[in-house]
């Protein structure tokens, strides 16, 4: 991720000393979902059962079993975890 401030070059063809790109893991826990076109920043964890809505920007770690949407993504409601009972019977 680059801040596009203009003080550094961007792109994989440039020497790393000339770029200012931050990276990190994106962690998706069990039953987490990320909608189409959503962007998840580096070092963000989508906790168990959490959902990121389509075209949202997730820049912070979520709470489990919650629904997030928007730019930046904000928690809009709780999500039921009844599916855990369904999968435990398999």
Could you tell me if residue 6 is inside a domain? no
Q: How many domains does the chain have?
A: 1
Could you tell me if residue 13 is inside a domain? no
* Predicted local confidence at residue 10, as pLDDT: 81
pTM of the predicted structure, to 2 decimals: 0.82
Contacts of 41 (CB under 8 A, 6+ apart): 1, 26, 57, 58, 59
Would you place residue 22 in the very low, low, confident or very high pLDDT band (cuts 50, 70, 90)? Answer: confident
Could you tell me if residue 49 is inside a domain? yes
Question: Would you say 49 and 30 are in contact if contact means Cβ atoms under 8 Å apart?
Answer: yes
User: What mean pLDDT is predicted for residues 45-52?
Assistant: 98
Tell me the CATH number at 55. 2.160.10.10
Q: Pull the structure tokens for residue 48.
A: 């168990």
Residue 21 burial (10 A CB sphere; 0-12, 13-18, 19+): middle
* Predicted local confidence at residue 5, as pLDDT: 81
pLDDT tens column, 54-65 = 999 999 999 999
Question: Would you say 72 and 61 are in contact if contact means Cβ atoms under 8 Å apart?
Answer: no
Could you tell me if residue 69 is inside a domain? yes
Domain extent, residue 54, equals: 24-79
Could you tell me if residue 61 is inside a domain? yes
Q: Is the dihedral of CA 25, 54, 59, 16 positive or negative?
A: positive
Could you tell me if residue 18 is inside a domain? no
């Amino acid at each position: 991720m680059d801040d596009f401030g203009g003080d550094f070059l961007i792109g994989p063809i440039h020497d790393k000393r000339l770029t200012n790109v931050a990276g990190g893991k994106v962690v998706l826990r069990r039953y987490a979902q990320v909608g189409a076109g959503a962007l998840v920043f580096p070092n963000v964890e989508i906790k168990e059962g959490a959902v990121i809505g389509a075209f949202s920007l997730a820049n912070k770690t979520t709470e489990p079993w919650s629904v997030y949407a928007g730019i930046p993504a904000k928690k809009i409601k709780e999500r039921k975890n009844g599916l855990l009972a369904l999968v435990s019977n398999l």
